[in-house]
């Protein structure tokens, strides 16, 4: 595979030692983690960061400070995720952004907010984990452009356009398409994100929206937690014709650890549950999985090797410089064997070392490529703000009087 190979085969112990040595020199940045939603769901009152106790090992979860440190994580994108169907989505998004800010304020010795690309180096020099805020799902816009500027002012630097539900302006990969891609308002969202210097994330959108965003964006985009659809046909994965357009855009695809996005046998096993309306997370989904297991046998397993195989497939098509890692740890009960929690990132790097990846390719994969995109998006925003006024208005101003409001 061009650009990745550089080592002879070595044993597991030696590869792990090399991986840890590399991670002490080059920053690992994970592009997606839903810890804020876990805290919101598991504490009372909702969102009690102090009560959750991030400083302690949470054996029933996948993310806490001890394991972030053990995993040699240098930068973490924390998502302000809310479900598409939540009541008061605008308020809920602000609550989630506030929760992320309070993670940093509660543990200032561990986390440093990253508002500019240059802040990552400052965080690393101070021995802290750079904390990047994202919004997962544009439902919280409530069909207005103004919240984008509020989210940016709060510190958000990445936005996943939608989640599992189709919005009034954007088709989701896992819901019925209603717009044949982006509407005019959706294109305005892309334009304002470019102007603000926020990274656009197409992880959850339909394939047509992926193409529409690649057509419209003047800055690199990311797929913050998606894999290759050619290897696993889950609709959340990226098809080859989209993968092949990423180099021209300068963006990247960040391989994820969700089992159903890795292994086609898992995707097939879960498909009847999705057809029944299952969302893939939460207590209702867990109950559906338990009932399906009782009648159809246990769900197949995904492994660390599956993650590496998706990474190698994408690298083989477009080169390792367009890849990153976006774990999507969300406190769920099922993770791939070998990457069960945030402490296990070195084991993935070690697997790629054993497959012959060079240090240069690995440094890009684990964080260098993401930083390149971050800097490029930031630079494009600075350029646009010199000549372009903020985009204002609601969906009716762009999509007509009949649009949802």
Rounded to whole angstroms, what are the CA distances from 19 to 71, 123, 314, 316? 11, 21, 21, 22
Distance, CA of 121 to CA of 137 (rounded, Å): 28
Per residue in 72-127, pLDDT tens?
A: 999 999 999 999 999 999 999 999 999 999 999 999 999 999 999 999 999 999 99
Average pLDDT, the chain: 96
Asked if the structure places residue 291 within a domain, the reply is: no
Cis, bond preceding 45 (omega within 30 deg of 0):
yes
Q: Which candidate, 254, 16, 28, 18, places its Cα nearest to that of 124?
A: 28
Specify the pLDDT at position 2. 46
Q: Using pLDDT thresholds of 50, 70 and 90, give the confidence band for residue 5.
A: low
**pLDDT score of 353 more than 50:** yes
The predicted model gives 336-356 an average pLDDT of 98
**pTM for the whole structure:** 0.96
Calculate the CA 83 to chain-centre distance: 15
Structural domain includes residue 295: no
Asked whether residue 400 is domain-assigned, the answer is no
**Which residues are marked as active site?**
32, 34, 136, 163, 204, 225, 328
Is pLDDT above 90 for 236? yes
Is pLDDT at 1 greater than 60 in this prediction? no
Q: Cα separation of 293 and 259, whole Å? A: 16
For the cut 90, the answer to whether the pLDDT of residue 278 exceeds it is no
Query: For 209-228, what is each residue's pLDDT tens digit?
Result: 999 999 999 999 999 999 99
Contact 344, 308 (CB under 8 A): no
Task: Give a yes or no: residue 405 inside a domain.
Answer: no
* Strand-pair partners of 73: 28
Average pLDDT over residues 33-56: 96
Q: What token pair was written down for 56?
A: 């302690």
**Structural domain for 243, as ranges:** 12-263+301-389
Residue at 166 is within a domain: yes
Percent of the chain whose pLDDT exceeds 90: 89
List CB contacts of 134: < 8 A, sequence separation 6 or more: 32, 77, 78, 79, 80, 156, 157, 158, 159, 160, 199, 201, 224
CATH of the domain at 56: 3.20.20.140
Residue 293: inside a domain: no
pLDDT per residue as tens digits for the range 117-163:
999 999 999 999 999 999 999 999 999 999 999 999 999 999 999 99
CA distance 194 to 188: 10
Q: Within a domain: residue 89?
A: yes
Q: What average pLDDT does the segment 48-75 reach?
A: 96
Task: Give 216's contacts (C-beta < 8 A, 6+ positions apart).
Answer: 182, 187, 190, 191
Q: How many domains does the chain have?
A: 1
Give the pLDDT band of residue 8 (cuts 50, 70, 90): low
Residue 6 CB-half CA count within 13 A: 12
With a CB cutoff of 8 Å and minimum separation 6, the contacts of 32 are 77, 79, 134, 136, 203, 224, 225, 254, 256, 326, 327, 328
């Amino acid at each position: 595979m061009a650009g990745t190979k550089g080592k002879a085969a070595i044993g597991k112990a030696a590869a792990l030692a090399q991986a840890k040595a590399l991670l002490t020199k080059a920053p690992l940045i994970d592009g997606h983690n839903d810890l804020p939603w876990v805290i919101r769901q598991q504490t009372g009152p909702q969102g009690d960061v102090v009560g959750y106790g991030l400083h302690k090992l949470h054996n029933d979860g996948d993310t806490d400070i001890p394991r972030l440190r053990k995993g040699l994580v240098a930068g973490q994108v924390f998502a302000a995720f809310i479900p598409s169907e939540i009541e008061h989505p605008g308020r809920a998004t602000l609550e989630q952004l506030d929760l992320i800010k309070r993670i940093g304020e509660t543990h200032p010795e561990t986390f440093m907010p990253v508002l500019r690309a240059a802040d990552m180096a400052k965080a690393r020099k101070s021995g802290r984990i750079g904390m990047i805020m994202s919004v997962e799902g544009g439902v919280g816009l409530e069909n207005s452009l103004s919240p984008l500027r509020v989210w940016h002012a709060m510190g958000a630097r990445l936005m996943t356009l939608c989640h599992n539900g189709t919005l009034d302006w954007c088709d989701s990969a896992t819901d019925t398409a209603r717009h044949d891609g982006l509407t005019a308002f959706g294109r305005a969202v892309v334009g304002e994100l470019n102007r603000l210097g926020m990274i656009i994330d197409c992880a959850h959108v339909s394939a047509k929206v992926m193409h529409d965003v690649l057509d419209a964006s003047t800055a690199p985009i990311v797929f913050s937690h998606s894999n290759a659809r050619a290897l696993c046909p889950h609709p959340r994965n990226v098809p080859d014709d989209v993968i092949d357009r990423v180099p021209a855009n300068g963006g990247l695809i960040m391989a994820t650890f969700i089992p159903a996005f890795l292994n086609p046998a898992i995707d097939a096993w879960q498909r009847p549950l999705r057809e029944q309306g299952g969302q893939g997370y939460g207590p209702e989904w867990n109950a559906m999985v338990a009932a399906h297991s009782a009648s159809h046998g246990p769900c197949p397993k995904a492994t660390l090797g599956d993650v590496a195989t998706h990474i190698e497939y994408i690298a083989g098509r477009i080169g390792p410089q367009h890849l990153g890692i976006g774990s999507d740890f969300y406190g769920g009960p099922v993770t791939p064997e070998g990457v069960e929690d945030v402490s296990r990132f070195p084991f993935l790097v070690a697997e790629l070392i054993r497959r012959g990846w060079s240090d240069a390719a690995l440094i890009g994969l684990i964080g260098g490529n993401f930083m390149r995109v971050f800097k490029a998006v930031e630079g494009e925003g600075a350029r646009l703000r010199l000549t372009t006024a903020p985009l204002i208005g609601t969906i009716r101003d762009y999509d007509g009087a009949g649009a949802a409001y």
